[in-house]
Structure 1
Amino acid sequence: MASFYVWATFGLCLLKLCLTKTQFNVSCKYRGVFHVEKNGRYSLTRTEAADLCRALNSTLSTLEQLEKAHELGFETCRYGFVVGYIVIPRINPYHLCAANHTGIYKLSANTTGRYDAYCYNATETRDKACEPIERIDTSFLSNQGEIVIDNEDGSRYNADGTRHSGDK
């Protein structure tokens, strides 16, 4: 009987893993550059960050692209990958963000850590655009569960572009 409970518990754990939800939070775009996180803070490797940007019809931002976005007012309090660096774009000093620095604060090149991503969409030429991302190309992602895109404006979409009706 004890082995039944072990297998039942194991089966429920597997079921829970199969039903996991992957959430992507996406910021507004500044000259095509935007911040994206997966399942909360700092869960992406550099390779996963690049794949996620591709899934969002973008590439990993270069430092130069991020600098242009920063000049237009783009700032976060989140470390993220860009090509060759891990950065936080800061305009206003804040003691909990980038050690109170402003500008593009760079960490030493850490290839094994997990961070967020700064993506660049070359087709977005406006200074600031906050239209929601409604669809994600899942062929670039290694995900087994439900995908939900959370946009800065509060809208939520499933990977296929349909409105998500679940709780946030």
Structure 2
Amino acid sequence: MSLTADTTFAPTALCDFVAAEAALIDEGRFDEWLALFAEDGRYWVPLLGARQADPLAHNSIACEDRLLLQLRIERLKNPRAHSQHPPSHCQHVLQCSRIEHIDAAAGTAALRTPFIYIEMRGEQQVLLTGVCHHALVRGAGGLLIRQKRIDLLQPERALAAIQLFI
């Protein structure tokens, strides 16, 4: 299959997917965001950042499969969730995504996107920077996230509690 025959893997479609995924988080549309993950999808924030090759060989800030993501989303939606009084809000500022790999025949693509992430809860603000790596796969309805890996710029520093999703 060529890129021209499958617009799912056109560079603009891939980059638009990453931007739309971040917008769902910023808008608090977490159920729709979760629907973008493949059944075997994983959200991973390594404790060692780019130096960490394996989520099981070392602790991570977050390493969550779909079930854990669903539980986290349910907690965020619960009106009794203490961590959401006042509620958290966030904003992603993304650079242009760089495509690292496309294999339309295999139905896979990988993108690298530098970002700034701001999360606000009341008067408290968390500011994080880093690079987001998306491993995407072709699903029945379009692109799905097999892995979203967040390499923070300074992961070894003390971090405030992150309530939402980078």
TM-score, scaled to structure 1: 0.27
Structure index of larger Rg: 1
Q: Which has the larger strand fraction? A: 2
TM-score, scaled to structure 2: 0.27
